[in-house]
């Protein structure tokens, strides 16, 4: 198939490109490099079936430009400023990525009658009052808080995706992605996995926000890519949670990393940012049922791979 993928130089985007090429598809990747990194695509230079265009999916000429480069069978909208550090620095770009960029990618899919998939987020559930979160849960999001540029942008993206599906019968898919980790995360993206790992590897204190009893569930990127590949060909039109249901407190996670790296970096506690969710765990029974998918990589093995990547990146600096 011919695939258009936005956010190709991002963490999950670049892994998905690798997988689609492995599976024999032709892929055109686009990225505006606001948060994407060309390093993530460097290994593909000259690869068969692969091409790349630097472009901003929010620009006025984007639909026309991409239409000239079509046709496409699959349009995948992964472009997003996914880390709090990034979206708080670029709130307007974040809002545009959910609104204008999503509309543009949907328009391209519509022109070619292509399948469309958007990576939404567990942040649509906000600070959830239901636990674990099922897809039927409507969420608890502060529409005017500092994080709303991300959360509401993604909720808008889901709404417009469903509107295109309802109005035009477009075959759309919505993945609600929970915390994902692995190689190619940015060392300094502010999220807990790269933060703890780069702190531990640098023999610095591990920064814990709040008292560390808040939970997260971490999905290794290979599992996430597998889930996305199954979802993009499925007949499910409503959102599907993709993530690892294994829940762990930040304190347990910090200790796990200390043990794994044999370090004794102390923990340093900081105040919890506003509206930071206290619990987050996917209910993935829908993904199991409709996609026969569940995560296979355990935290120990996924972290080992990730540590090796971070050690390589830090050594290269």
Write down the least CB distance from residue 154 to its own copies, Å: 9
What's the rounded Cα separation, in Å, for the pair 122 and 289? Answer: 19
- Residues engaged in binding its own copies (CB under 8 A): 60, 91-92, 95-96, 98-100, 103, 124, 126, 138-144, 146, 148-149, 151-153, 155-156, 158-160, 162-164, 166-167, 174, 238-239
Please name the residues in contact with 33: beta carbons below 8 A apart, sequence gap of 6 or more.
9, 54
Write down the least CB distance from residue 281 to its own copies, Å: 19
Identity of the residue, 73 or 238, whose beta carbon is nearer to its own copies in the bound complex: 238
Write down the least CB distance from residue 156 to its own copies, Å: 4
Annotated catalytic residue, options 87, 90, 125, 150? 150
Identity of the residue, 86 or 226, whose beta carbon is nearer to its own copies in the bound complex: 86
Identity of the residue, 99 or 263, whose beta carbon is nearer to its own copies in the bound complex: 99
CB atoms within 10 A of CB 311: 13
The number of C-alpha atoms within 13 Å of 20 and in the hemisphere containing its C-beta is 29
What's the rounded Cα separation, in Å, for the pair 83 and 12? Answer: 12
What's the rounded Cα separation, in Å, for the pair 193 and 310? Answer: 11
Dihedral (CA of 7, 293, 306, 275) sign: positive
Helix or strand holding residue 245 (H, E): none
Write down the least CB distance from residue 157 to its own copies, Å: 9
Tokens of 91: 């709130």
Identity of the residue, 139 or 190, whose beta carbon is nearer to its own copies in the bound complex: 139
What's the rounded Cα separation, in Å, for the pair 208 and 40? Answer: 28
- Contact between residue 124 and residue 154 where contact means Cβ atoms under 8 Å apart: yes
Identity of the residue, 168 or 269, whose beta carbon is nearer to its own copies in the bound complex: 168
Q: What angle do CA 137, 295, 236 make, to 5 degrees?
A: 50
Write down the least CB distance from residue 76 to its own copies, Å: 19
Please confirm, yes or no, whether 137 is among the known catalytic residues: no
What's the rounded Cα separation, in Å, for the pair 166 and 170? Answer: 8
Residues with a catalytic annotation lie at 150
């Amino acid at each position: 198939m011919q695939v258009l993928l936005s956010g190709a130089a991002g963490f999950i985007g670049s892994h998905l490109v690798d997988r689609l090429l492995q599976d024999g598809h032709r892929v055109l990747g686009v990225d505006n490099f606001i948060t994407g990194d060309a390093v993530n695509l460097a290994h593909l230079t000259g690869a068969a079936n692969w091409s790349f265009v630097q472009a901003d999916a929010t620009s006025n000429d984007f639909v026309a430009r991409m239409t000239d480069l079509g046709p496409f069978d699959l349009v995948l909208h992964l472009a997003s400023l996914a880390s709090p550090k990034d979206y708080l620095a670029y709130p307007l770009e974040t809002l545009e990525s959910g609104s204008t960029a999503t509309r543009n990618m949907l328009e391209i899919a519509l022109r070619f009658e292509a399948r469309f998939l958007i990576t939404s987020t567990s942040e649509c559930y906000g600070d959830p009052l239901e636990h674990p979160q099922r897809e039927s849960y409507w969420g608890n999001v502060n529409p005017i808080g500092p994080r709303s540029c991300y959360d509401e942008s993604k909720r808008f993206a889901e709404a417009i995706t469903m509107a295109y599906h309802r109005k035009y019968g477009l075959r759309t898919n919505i993945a609600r992605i929970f915390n994902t980790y692995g190689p190619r995360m940015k060392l300094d993206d502010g999220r807990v996995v790269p933060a703890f790992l780069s702190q531990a590897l640098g023999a610095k204190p591990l920064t814990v926000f709040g008292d560390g009893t808040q939970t997260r569930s971490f999905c290794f990127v290979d599992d996430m890519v597998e889930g996305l590949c199954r979802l993009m060909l499925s007949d499910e039109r409503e959102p599907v949670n993709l993530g690892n249901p294994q829940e762990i407190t930040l304190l347990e996670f910090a200790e796990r990393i200390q043990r794994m790296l044999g370090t004794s970096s102390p923990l340093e506690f900081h105040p919890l940012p506003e509206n930071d969710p206290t619990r987050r765990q996917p209910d993935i029974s829908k993904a199991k049922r409709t996609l026969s998918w569940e995560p296979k990589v355990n935290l120990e093995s996924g972290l080992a791979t990730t540590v090796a990547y971070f050690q390589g990146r830090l050594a290269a600096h």
